[in-house]
Structure formats: C-alpha cells, structure tokens
Structure 1
C-alpha cells in the first residue's frame, strides 16, 4: 500500500513539473499565433528574433519555416523530419543552434494559414532532472518505509507470538492438571490483556469447581474406606467363628466383594490425586529397562501360571524422568488386564523406546483385543465393555493409566496388535 502511494506521488509530481513547461510552451504558441493574425509573417519573424535577444530565449525553442520547411527564423537549423504539424505536445531530443549535444525539448508544431510551419518549444532537461530527483527521493523513501514496515511487522509478530505463547503455555499446563496456572497480564487493557483476564476468570471458576468435586469425591472415597475396612474385619471374624458351610460360603462372597470395593476406592483416590497433579514433582531420572524388568519379575510367576509368556524389550541405557511407583502401577494394571481378558492368547510383550525425545512404553498381547470403535469407551472411568462385565474388575485400570500418562504430559493410545491389543503410553519430558 505504501509503495502504491509513493508511486502515485512520483507520477503526479513528474506530471506536474512537465505540465508547467507544457503550459509555458502553449502560452508562447498562443501569443505568437495572435501576433501572426494581426501582423502576418513579418511581425512573427521580428518577434521571434526579439525573444532570442532577451532572457526568455535561454530555454525557449522557436522555429518558423516557409511552406517547404526552409527555416525563416528561429534557433533550430531545420525542421525535425519526424515531427508532424498537428498541434500536439511531444518531447523530442533535438539540437539547438550553437549546441553540440542534443537536449530533451517539449515542442508543439502547427501549420499556419499561409502554409508556414511554426514550432514552439522549451528545453525541459531541468524539469526532467527535477523529476528524477523526486523519483530517487521517493525510491529512498519507499525503501526506508519498507524496512520500517518490516521491522514493525517483525516486532509486532514477536509481541503477538509471545502473548499467544503465554496463553498456549498456560493452556497446556492446565491440560496436564496444573489448575493453578494463570495467563500473565500487564493491566494495559488491550485485547490480549482482556483475553488473558477472561481466561483467568474462567480458570478460577474451573479450579473452584474441580476442587469442590475433588474434595467431595476424595472425602466420599476416604469416608467409605473406613466402613468397608471394618466390614472386611467383621466378615473375617465371623468366618473364623462360624462352622456352617453355607454361612462360610456367603461370608466368603461378602469378603470378596468388600475387598473389590476397597480396591476400587483406593484406585479412585489414586486417580483423583494423580489427576490433581500430586506426584508431578517426584519424577526422577529412571532406568526404564530396569523398571520394566522389575515389573516383569514381580508378575512373572502369575503370568506363567496363567499360561502366558512375557517378553521384555528396552534399551539398557534408556534414562527418562518418571514417577516410578505410578508408572509401575500403570504397567501392572495393563499386565493384569491382558491376563484377565486376552483369552486365547499366549504372549505378553512389554517394550520401551525413545522417539523424538518422547518415551514410548508398549504393552501388547495376542488375545481377541478390543474393537476400534470401543477404544474410547474402554478408557472411560468405570467403563467396562460387554464381554468383560462377567469378569472381576472395577473399570478403573485404564483410567489410572491415562491419569499417570497425563501426569507425565503424555497420552494413552489403544491399537490393534493383529491379533490382540496394543496399549501405548507416550510420556513427555516436563
């Protein structure tokens, strides 16, 4: 836009400078025509000679010829061969008498009533030089304005990028559970400041609601654990005191369900604390291969008794910042899920790798797997798919895995193992 404005100014200034010379030539032509009408060719010849003797002749170009083009009076040696006598303004390069170099001259040529030819003109080299100066000045102004515009654009871009980055960084931190993070504001009242204030108000409300919900669920789970624990104790005492086989069977079932309920409450509390970000500051550099082998050693006997073979694959020197206990619990949940639901399978693969700076931990089996359209439902809290409803479980195993992944700024992905299920944890550095 700036270039267009400067180009317009350059063209307009050039037209203005040349137009002034054109007007002067037209005025000279009109004066000479008036003199010709009143005094004829002789008066016109005398006037041309007079003008050349005065200061007006310094830039003036005049030529009067007869009908055959032979010069009668003026400061051109001959009539220009390519110049028609049509009365139009033209700029030509001509030699004036006494000049060794051609000069740019604006001329108007016409034929008089007696057949004579009259040329009036003016040397416009100074005007063209002035126009070039205007052009150079405007070109410099354009370059300067372009540099300034680019500089301002870069500066504004960096300011906008920094402000947007602050908002994006806050959003990412909130997404992984840091609900106390807020968008930085400077009180300037500009659009980004108002946006940051609005986002902070929204985050305050979300933080308050989540805190209330967490307090309620934590309190409920905590309060329920005590009576459930007492219930288990009472059932165990009753089992020790009774000799009735029917009553013992019933007490055994009650004991099993109470333990399941206590496990669910414990897991729900752990998920709630993990999603709240507790433990995020306890990540330590961990040898991932050693972690996988420790989990495999603990669950090795159970896996063998269930008819499965466990394979572990991880680089020896793979170090990554992890909350060791929570990641171990997540892998334990995934192995237990594979043992419970991978009917018809015979192997469980546990592997880890580093890709693009992210840690990828995979637990895979070759059982029946989960249909792709059910992957989302399997990750829901207390979500249990129809084939699994007749088996023991709370539907919280994958929920805990997902919460631990989010604590590590990561995600959980379910995929087909062809056959079987692949659960992939993608964990990122803080």
Structure 2
C-alpha cells in the first residue's frame, strides 16, 4: 500500500508540474503565436485585395509602407513572380516550398554589420497567375521562450519525478508508521488486551483524530465487556439461589410423608420457578428492546393520562408502606411512542422510588413541558445512591450495597433505560440529599 501511495504522490506531483508548464506554454507561446497569426492573416487579406485591384506595383508600394510602419514585431515580406523572380522582398533568402500556407521560417539579417537571428511566422498566398506573396512577422522572442520553456519542462519534469518519488517514499513511510501503530493496537485488542490504545502524536492531524475515535471506541468496548462480565456474574448469582431452592425442595419432596408438607414444598418450588421465569422474561424483553427486535406499537400517546394512571396505580402500595405519593401532571401532553412500554417505564420509576423510600417519606411524580420535550420527574426521600454507583444504576441486576437487601430483581431501571433509548429519550439520575431524582425527557408529538 505504501508503495502505491508513493507512486500516487509522485504522479500527482508530476501532473501538477506539467499543468503549470502547460499554462506557461499557453501564456508565453501559444497565445502570442495566435495573436501574430491573426495579424498576419488580416494583412494578407488586405494586401491580396490591393494586388487584385491595382496590380503588382501597388502591392510593392503597400509592402514597403508596411515595412516602414512602426510595429512591435518586425514585418517581413516577399513577392515572387510566376517564373521565380524576386519582385520585392526584405527576406535575405527564399523561404522553403511547403504544402501548408502557414510555416515558421528562420533566417539571419544584418544590421550595422551585426548578424541577427530571426524567426518569422509566415503565410504564403498564391495567386492564380502563379505569383507568390509571403507575409510574415518576427517571432524570435516567442521562439526563445518556447525553447526556454521546453527545456524547463523537460528538466523540471525529471526533477519533479525525482522529488515526487522521494517525497512519496518519505510520506508513505510516515503514513506506514502511523498505520502500523493502529494495526499493532488492534492486534493487541484481538489478543485479549483491552487496555491497548493508539498513541496520539499531538499534531492534531487526521491520524490523531482517527486515533481519538478508535480510543473512544475501545473505551466503550472495554466498558461494555466489563458490563457484560458483571451482568454474567449477576445472572449466575441470581439464578443460583432459586435453582438451589428448587433442587432442595425436590429432594425434600421425595422423602416427605404427609400431604401438607408435600403441598408446602411444591408451592415453594413453584414460587422459585416463577421467580426464574420472571427474571428470564425481563431479561428477554430488555434484550429484544435493545436489539430493536421488539415491534413498537408507535402512536400518539396521551402522556398526561399515562403518568396520572401510573401514579394512581401505585398510590395504594405507597399508602400501605406509610408513604405519601404526590403527583403534579400538566394536562394535554402527547408524545409519539409505544404506550405499553412507556407505561412500564414510568411504573418502574415509581416502583423503584416507593421501594427505597422509608416509612413516613414521600414520592413525587411530575410531568411538564420543557421546550420541545416532555419532562417526567420521579423523586423520593430514600437513601439515594453513592456517587460511584450512580453511573451503574441502569445495569442489569445492579444494586447499590446499601440496597442489596431490598426485594426485586435489579432489572427495573435497566428496562427503563432500554425503553428510553428506543424512544430517543434522555434518562438521568441525580442524588437529592436525601433521595434520588429520576428524570425522563421524551420528544413531544408534532
């Protein structure tokens, strides 16, 4: 790849130089010659008209007048009769016979005893009687520039190729080192070392931006893998207890003699099995929502009625626990989403608040518009969550150490987080000292 990069760099360098050379050629050679061509052609037409109307003597007078007339480019001419005799000319030698009427003619002239090289851009007009009229303008300066630019393009192209190859090799080596660093980090990660990161050079170039993006991705992957490991451990822990109870109940059932004992053991085993079923159902539902496999029954949802219903549903449970549940719901708020999932999310937030609020405390449920979003807030007077544990509060089976003894599976807030993400909502938690405040922000329905 680096070799191809060096070739591409060299080709780009050469093409750029060639383009500059071509532009210089057009400005200093092609354009001036086109200007001379236009001037000579206009003169030929005018002189031909003189010959055709007034004859050779008038044409000779016009040619002499043209020569004496001041001009930026020196005028040359030759009038040759049908038999090859020179009628009038200021060219020192006859021009070559060519098939094309346009040609460039090189010759020497002498001024004050000094030889001077000339190149004339010449047009030849042949009249029906065999007379030849040659009209030219000096283009020696263009010829010199043409030779100079040609040499510059030739030598410059060689130098450009050399510099392009050298620059391409140096650039490919630099790029190769950066790519090797990224490849090495990727190989370390594939080998199982998730701590590997791409080194930043501090140059702020595209490779540094790529390295920052890759490092952020690796940080996220490491965090997710650690989370998966914690969830796996939690699943094993959560399932071990009910499975052990079911096994113990079955072993006791095998030796139980009276019917009452057998019925009690069967009921206890059924309870443990129901807990297992509930755990698996919750895990499956979260996984389906996160993977996008849960078909959302998306519709315009009256969120005000939904939040009020959820608060009303948990009012008896809160009263039974000696709590006060207050609700402040702004009417007429609608969002777009799955009503069942949104109700489950709001219910889980309220259930979590009721579960961890001590007797005599209060739970507050609020819904209000906040710009282009609906803001659901659930606040309690419980112990809150430690600052170190707050970022993990939505992990499956996570429970803060102070709340480990509370009833539940540790999946409620994980489900709320999954529902929030599939509805493009924002879920946030903060400690209120005392208590925990949960906030869910959803886009309003248009």
**TM-score by shorter chain over 0.5:** no
Larger RCO (alpha carbons 8 Å, 6+ apart): 2
**TM-score normalised per structure 1:** 0.43
**TM-score normalised per structure 2:** 0.42
